């Protein structure tokens, strides 16, 4: 067994491209209670006490001068859940192993000790893998892909000479974002064009770099601070100060486009085979949004979505619920424009706003979490009849989730650590059953006579029964 130490180049790439996990607000919910809820019905949460953390108020006198201080080099990334595994070499001679059932125990095709963007090390590793002669078809294909990606990266970096690869990737996204703003926001409703232009210039002039775990705040083209860690109370204070419901930007949390669902196939009344769950949203509970209204909406539980998605109509509806307030309520704080990549590789752009989210249990009319969670949300423009809101990752970062192999397709959500004995017991017969593949069905036409204008004298008997199962 031999191991290959990580090169300094790979370490640098790993540090530069690490996702900013600290963007979400610091956890405030302790799993001290045993509340639990099933999506769309299920067991009611137990009435047990929970612990609440007290937050210290923001010292604004300290914050103002501190905004001028750069935290580059002073902040380390989040601790890794597990150490990076070392590479194990498997010496094998002819004939080649071409069946997964015959590979050595512990063998994997993944290169966990290498950064995915370190193409030099990745190509070298592919050559080593081919010499080992274990599942060579994987690495013959990967070698071709890596060489193409390497060539593509070099060509893209030539467009922005002397800039780092993370900065080049970010500039590409910002350039497309600017195109989208100019085309889709002709009246400059969001007031983001000046911000994007200023950020692009700062990257090109090298007065701004891509710094993992750090953000900068911008308002109407002006930089408001040096790179610093994201803190929710600081963000809210600065956003309110600069009337950040528009023309405000947080640079540092959306490096490259995050994944989103390709499409949703829906049938009337249900979203096909997808799991849907109700979330309750509200405007942030600080500053200009105190004593806010709450709105419950249905979301698709999409584990592949990098960001929670709502629609502009939802935000406007929530704003309209404050119409009787003494003080007019503005839209929630904006964070900028977010780029998302669909499953087919296409990119889309949308404004991002900060909302607070929770889950209401209808049996007790209480919230599952003691504290509301601040979540950056992509706000889409339209809201068609089959549009779906996407849950994003927030629920699984705040709650325990559980499914059972009983073919029920149910999702269980817990505040505390779930106990297996409390969950449905799946039998061997249920686990051996074929996956349910049900054809789409529609309600009988007779159930909706007010929608039918084809047969004003009544629906023929042969059509009133609906489709045959």
The whole-angstrom separation of Cα 253 and Cα 230 is 9
The whole-angstrom separation of Cα 462 and Cα 450 is 19
pLDDT band at 213; cut points 50, 70, 90:
confident
Is residue 34 predicted with pLDDT exceeding 60?
no
Q: What's the confidence (pLDDT) of residue 70?
A: 95
Domains in the chain and their CATH numbers? 19-53+258-414 (2.40.70.10), 91-159 (no CATH), 162-251 (no CATH)
Q: What's the confidence (pLDDT) of residue 384?
A: 55
pLDDT band at 27; cut points 50, 70, 90:
very low
Q: Residue 83's beta-bridge partner residues?
A: none
pLDDT band at 93; cut points 50, 70, 90:
confident
Q: Which two tokens stand for residue 32?
A: 């001290």
Select from 308, 310, 311, 315 the least CA-distant residue to 394: 308
The whole-angstrom separation of Cα 262 and Cα 184 is 21
Cα 335 from chain centre: 15
pLDDT tens-digit readout, 308-362: 989 988 898 888 886 665 555 788 899 999 888 776 677 889 999 999 999 988 7
Q: DSSP states of 129-193 as a string?
A: HHHHTBSHHHHHHHHHHHHHHHHHHHHHHHHSTT--HHHHHHHHHHHHHHHHHHHH-TT-SS--H
pLDDT tens-digit readout, 38-61: 444 333 344 333 334 345 788 999
Cis peptide before 95, with omega less than 30 degrees from 0?
yes
Backbone phi, then psi, for 353, in 5-degree steps? -130, 155
Cα 215 from chain centre: 18
What angle is formed at CA 422 by the lines to CA 420 and CA 425, rounded to 5 degrees? 70
pLDDT tens-digit readout, 148-199: 999 999 999 999 999 999 999 999 999 999 999 998 777 778 899 999 999 9
């Amino acid at each position: 067994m031999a191991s290959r130490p990580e090169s300094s180049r790979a370490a640098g790439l790993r540090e530069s491209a690490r996702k900013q996990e600290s963007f979400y607000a610091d956890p405030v919910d302790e799993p001290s209670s045993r509340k639990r809820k099933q999506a769309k019905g299920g067991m009611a949460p137990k009435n047990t006490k929970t612990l609440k953390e007290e937050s210290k108020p923001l010292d604004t006198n300290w914050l103002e001068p501190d905004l001028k201080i750069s935290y580059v080099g002073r902040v380390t990334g989040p601790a890794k859940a597990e150490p990076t595994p070392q590479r194990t070499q498997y010496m094998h001679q002819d004939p080649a192993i071409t069946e997964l059932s015959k590979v050595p125990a512990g063998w994997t095709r993944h290169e966990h000790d290498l950064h995915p963007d370190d193409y030099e090390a990745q190509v070298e590793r592919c050559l080593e893998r081919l010499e080992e002669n274990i599942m060579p078809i994987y690495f013959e294909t990967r070698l071709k892909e890596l060489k193409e990606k390497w060539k593509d990266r070099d060509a893209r970096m030539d467009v922005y000479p002397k800039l780092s690869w993370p900065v080049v990737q970010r500039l590409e996204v910002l350039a497309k974002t600017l195109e989208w703003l100019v085309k889709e926001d002709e009246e400059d409703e969001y007031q983001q064009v000046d911000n994007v232009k200023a950020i692009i210039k700062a990257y090109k002039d090298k007065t701004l770099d891509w710094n993992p775990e750090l953000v900068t705040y911008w308002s109407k083209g002006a930089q408001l601070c040096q790179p610093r860690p994201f803190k929710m109370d600081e963000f809210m204070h600065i956003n309110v100060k600069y009337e950040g419901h528009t023309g405000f930007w947080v640079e540092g949390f959306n490096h490259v486009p995050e994944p989103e669902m390709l499409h949703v196939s829906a049938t009337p009344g249900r979203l096909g085979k997808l799991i849907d769950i109700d979330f309750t949203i509200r405007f942030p509970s600080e500053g200009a949004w105190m004593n806010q209204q709450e709105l419950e909406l249905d979301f698709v539980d999409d584990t592949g979505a990098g960001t929670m998605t709502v629609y502009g109509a939802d935000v406007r509806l929530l704003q309209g619920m404050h119409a009787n307030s003494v003080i007019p309520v503005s839209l929630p704080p904006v964070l900028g424009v977010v780029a998302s990549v669909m499953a087919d590789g296409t990119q889309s752009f949308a404004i991002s706003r900060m909302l607070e989210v929770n889950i209401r249990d209808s049996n007790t009319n209480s919230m599952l979490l003691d504290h509301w969670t601040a979540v950056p949300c992509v706000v889409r423009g339209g809201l068609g009849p089959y549009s779906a809101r996407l849950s994003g990752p927030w629920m699984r970062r705040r709650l325990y989730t559980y499914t059972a192999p009983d073919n029920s397709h149910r999702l269980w959500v817990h505040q505390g650590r779930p106990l297996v004995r409390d969950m449905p017991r799946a039998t061997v017969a249920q686990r051996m059953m074929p996956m349910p593949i049900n054809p789409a069905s529609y309600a009988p036409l007779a159930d909706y006579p007010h929608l039918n204008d084809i047969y004003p004298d009544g629906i023929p008997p042969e059509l009133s029964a609906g489709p045959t199962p």
